[in-house]
Structure 1
């Protein structure tokens, strides 16, 4: 004998199951869709953020490069007016003294030197050989002023002549020695210029035999003479800091037996030409 429970309705149960399945499928599909939208949105914004970050970084690097370029040009071009002022004063003195031949010779050397300095891009380095040629032009001018009071000693390692250096890096150092040491000596003034390879560095030395080397060092370190010596030594220090950040040395020390010595150590960089 079959007994049917009054609460059991197969048709009603089947309908409820289908409805539950539909609701489950609906929410599953909705959840999947939301998850996909969230995933694609996350991917889109991540990629967009990455490209914005790269673009901002490129803009920052471009700004740094422009700042670097402007700073190098500013520091390099500080040298010319300073040197030009001193040289024109010397030429004017020669003219007033009636020594037209020497004044004319200085003007010729001055024009050649300025042509060299203006033809070279301040941001580009030059081989040491060309730097020394420019320095000799400058020294010809100073030899006209000081005659036998100024002697130059060169000790240039052959291996250094094709290495790259910042243009006009030596001239301010020599000018500093002449102005603050040689000019104070009645005779026997000497400037020694040396270039040598030391491990992975190029070392450049400019030394003089001035009478007050120790006093000059004290003034430099105490900044008591910053205004007078700033254009020369400070300019070199700032240029080196920009060109070789944390990869250079700039030392001022007493020379033996007397005078002042400036030592520069920069990474070896060979010319590609």
Structure 2
């Protein structure tokens, strides 16, 4: 028992690993021998006092040295097992921290990519009104655009918002689009009450609505309808954006910035538990469906 603390100290001070493998093995061999000799000396002294000592130091070493050396290296093995276990846990924690930092950096980059894209498209719509000399609507759109951009810039650093907050943001964004489409755009909502406190990635729905308006309803000559729905399906939140437009499932040159950005954000935040699908709508048009784990915001 007296060997254990000393062996522990030596094991941590001189671990058996590269690049000092040979040197530390020699230290432990010498340490084992010295400790065993010391232990034998103490044993002989106590044996002499109790009149139970074996025949001198040679006799003690002959009977106890092999066992003592075995016990020393057995304890040393336990020391290294504990050390390697702790180091493995530290490496896992460090790797998890690095992964989280990389995910945060990636999400921040995706979010910053979305903002200029949204601004560019909105300014294009405003430019059309200016060229058409539609001053009242241009002024109204500029006012609405300022409010929307204020929300984007003032949003906190968290990656989540409640679905209710996202729908309010969409209302402001759609007010801009209503000016561009005039009376050709009708918006229908079917939002289950229990979904309003559900957490979703911030600004996740706007690219889907923009895609439906630009590639679906935009090419239509007649009335366009945009339907926004949200429901709970088991342990998932399902949000759908449907249009009665041209029925383009994906743009000809692949996913645009907004849709590609949305898929990457969902994958980064939730892995394979979240998805974005684009499918033809019954009766014409396209349905974009976001499915992600249902998480509810805590009540204040």
TM-score (norm 2): 0.76
Structure 1 Cα separation of the partners of residues 273 and 73 of structure 2: 49
Q: Aligned to 1:127, which of 125, 144, 162?
A: 162
Q: How far apart are the structure 2 equivalents of 1:56 and 1:84?
A: 42
Report matched runs for 1:231-246 at 5 Å.
231-246=257-272
Quick one: which of 192, 203, 206 aligns to 1:157? Answer: 192
Who wins on radius of gyration, i.e. which is larger? 1
Look up the match of 1:225.
253
Inter-CA distance 179–65: structure 2 relative to 1 (3 Å threshold):
same
Counterpart of 2:36 in structure 1 is none
Partner of 2:285: 259
Q: Deviations along 1:7-66, whole A, 9 cap, x unmatched?
A: xxxxxxxxxxx9977534213332233223213322222222222212211110110000
> CA offsets per residue over residues 91-117 of structure 1, 9 Å max, x none?
222223322322222222112212222
> Secondary structure in 2 aligned to 1:266?
strand
Residue 109 of structure 2 is matched in structure 1 by 74
**1:52, 1:102 → 2: CA distance?**
65
Task: Give the superposition deviation at 1:224.
Answer: 4.6
Q: Deviations over 1:206-240 (max 9, x none)?
A: 011112x1xx23xx3xx8521xx321222222211
Distance 1:19 1:171, change over 3 A: closer
Deviation at 1:121, TM superposition (A): 3.9
Q: SS at 1:162's partner residue?
A: coil
What residue number does 1:94 align with?
Answer: 129
Contact 2:263–2:275 under 8 Å retained in 1: no
- If the length of structure 1 is used for normalisation, what is the TM-score? 0.83
Equivalent-residue separation in structure 2 for 1:122 and 1:155 (angstroms): 29
User: Secondary structure of the residue that 1:152 maps to in structure 2?
Assistant: strand
Pick the aligned partner of 1:140 from 160, 175, 179: 175
Q: Give the CA deviation at 1:247.
A: 1.4
Structure 1 Cα separation of the partners of residues 197 and 271 of structure 2: 22
Deviation at 1:146, TM superposition (A): 1.2
Say if 2:294 is the partner of 1:271. Answer: no
Q: Which runs of 4+ in 1 moved over 4 A?
A: 18-22
Distance in 2, matches of 1:130 and 1:48, equals 49
Number of residue pairs matched? 247
Give the RMSD, CA atoms, in angstroms: 2.1
Matched, 1:47 2:82: yes
What SS does the corresponding residue of 1:245 show, helix, strand or coil?
helix
Report 1 or 2 for greater relative contact order, CA contacts < 8 Å, sequence distance ≥ 6: 1
Residue in 2 that maps onto 1:10:
none
Does the 8 Å contact 1:72/1:122 carry over to 2?
no
Superposition deviation, residue 258 in structure 1: 0.6
Is the 2:54–2:60 contact (alpha carbons within 8 Å) kept by the matching residues of 1? no
